[in-house]
Amino acid sequence: MNQIPETRLTEAALREKEAQYCSHGDTVHYSPIPKIFQSCEGTFLYDREGKPYLDLQMWYSAVNFGYHNTYIVDAVQAQLERLPQLACQYLHEEKILVAERLAIESGRAFGTNGRVQFNVGGSQAIEDSMKLVRNATGKSLFMAFMGGYHGRTLGASEITSSYRYRRRFGHFSNRAHFVPFPYCFRCPYGMKLESCDYYCADQVERLFETEFNSFWDAKAEESEFIAFYVEPVLGTGGYVVPPPDYFRRLKTILDERKILLVDDEIQMGFFRTGKFWAIEHFGVTPNIVVFGKALTNGLNPISGVWAEESLISPQAFPPGSTHSTFSSNPLGTAAALATLEWIEQQDYERKVAESGAYFLEQLEDLKKRHAVIGDVSGLGLALRIEVTQADGFTPNKALTDRIFERGLAGGIPTSRGPMGLVLDVGGYYKNVFTLAPYLDIARDEIDLAVELLDRLFTECAEQP
């Protein structure tokens, strides 16, 4: 049990104030009564009574390297003493070193020279990347995936697939053209990977077959759509991993039409899938990479964009094109630099592949024990459990919700004492547990996670 920190108010008093003063617009209310947590360490969150909850979502992958990672926390504390505040028009060492490391890492991954610029949140960096593309091409129409999620600011909402996030906010004139993601468990074309020969990629190509399909002028050899936004593995869309050749085929189609590939690594970057950039699994080179979340391990946020030199050189993209007051805030750059140093010391490529394979094996066993698990799969430590009816296919949101709530209620008996479980729910039908454990999760913690899941599936499936 964690040491109980001092609290100011009772839970009832806090909830009363929350009900009166807090908007709900800036949160995600999966639970009718959101849980209050008080502290964190490693892979565990602790409630106000100091009771532990094993976390399998780690702040939507913002905390890949563990709660209260002392290497990163110490760097932020040192910066707090030395240079906690500085306007972004001036330079400081950490900003330059973070940009250098990310540019070198991207150069290694893609064999291309490029530069890096910063912002604060993921959606803001997405919008900055939209400006880069629009600046380079003078055009503004994008393609993106059904199931894709790129944020909820106005610009990012144009390329985020879910209509729910746009419905209340009027007309989006630059709404992307969305194409089906290769979600083989629920193939949008009802096909099987063994025999489809990537029919879904062919369907993208067909859009450009004639000018009357509305994408392409064959005489001018010019597309009206100038960039395709991808998540290499769908995040909010349910941790769907595409089949191995999909991105190579898509890239060929895009290259032939001079359409840029923008790779959103905000959720899957920084070794969530076992590679620095998740797109590295698929053998294609993006023109732009957008990142955020785990770069600072969830401390003072920094997001940003890497782009190839021709798009982002100061001549091409002049000063002030995307400035924001806190874009390279020094507490954030200190956290980012420490995170990148930490990564360099860890051998995550091997570690995540091994832990991911072990975790997935346990999940496959779990699936054998529970008919209501339709699919388990994943890449590295981005793992999914698709919850279904006993037919193994029909989405079962009600059971997903019950398991989610029961995990958060805590006190589940386990071999390591009473424990809660923090899960995240995603997927097109909100029936997928998107598991994003701490990248240093130990074997016995994986066993504990599976023990908890086993109990929750048994207990909750029995309820009506």
- Binding footprint of ligand PLP on the chain (CB under 6 A): 60, 121-123, 126, 149-151, 231, 235-236, 264, 266-267, 292
For the bound state, the minimum distance from the C-beta of residue 34 to ligand PLP, rounded and expressed in Å, comes to 17
Cα separation, 80 vs 184, whole angstroms? 48
For the bound state, the minimum distance from the C-beta of residue 270 to ligand PLP, rounded and expressed in Å, comes to 12
Smaller CB separation from ligand PLP, 215 or 239? 239
For the bound state, the minimum distance from the C-beta of residue 463 to ligand PLP, rounded and expressed in Å, comes to 31
Nearest Cα neighbor of 340 from 80, 90, 99, 60 is 99
Closest residue to ligand PLP in the complex (CB): 122
State the CB neighbour count (10 A cutoff) for residue 283: 11
Secondary structure element (H or E) that encloses residue 373, with its range:
strand 373-379
For the bound state, the minimum distance from the C-beta of residue 420 to ligand PLP, rounded and expressed in Å, comes to 23
Question: Alpha-carbon torsion 297, 110, 250, 140, what sign?
Answer: positive
Cα separation, 458 vs 449, whole angstroms? 14
Smaller CB separation from ligand PLP, 268 or 373? 268
| Per-residue CA distances from 182 to 6, 247, 252 (Å) | 49, 10, 16
Secondary structure element (H or E) that encloses residue 181, with its range:
none
For the bound state, the minimum distance from the C-beta of residue 148 to ligand PLP, rounded and expressed in Å, comes to 8
Smaller CB separation from ligand PLP, 160 or 223? 160
Cα separation, 439 vs 312, whole angstroms? 32
Smaller CB separation from ligand PLP, 52 or 301? 301
- DSSP string covering 294-313: GGGTTSS--EEEEEEHHHHS
Smaller CB separation from ligand PLP, 52 or 121? 121
Nearest Cα neighbor of 333 from 83, 137, 98 is 98
Smaller CB separation from ligand PLP, 233 or 250? 233
Smaller CB separation from ligand PLP, 56 or 448? 56
For the bound state, the minimum distance from the C-beta of residue 274 to ligand PLP, rounded and expressed in Å, comes to 17
For the bound state, the minimum distance from the C-beta of residue 78 to ligand PLP, rounded and expressed in Å, comes to 25
Place of tokens 């900003």: 95
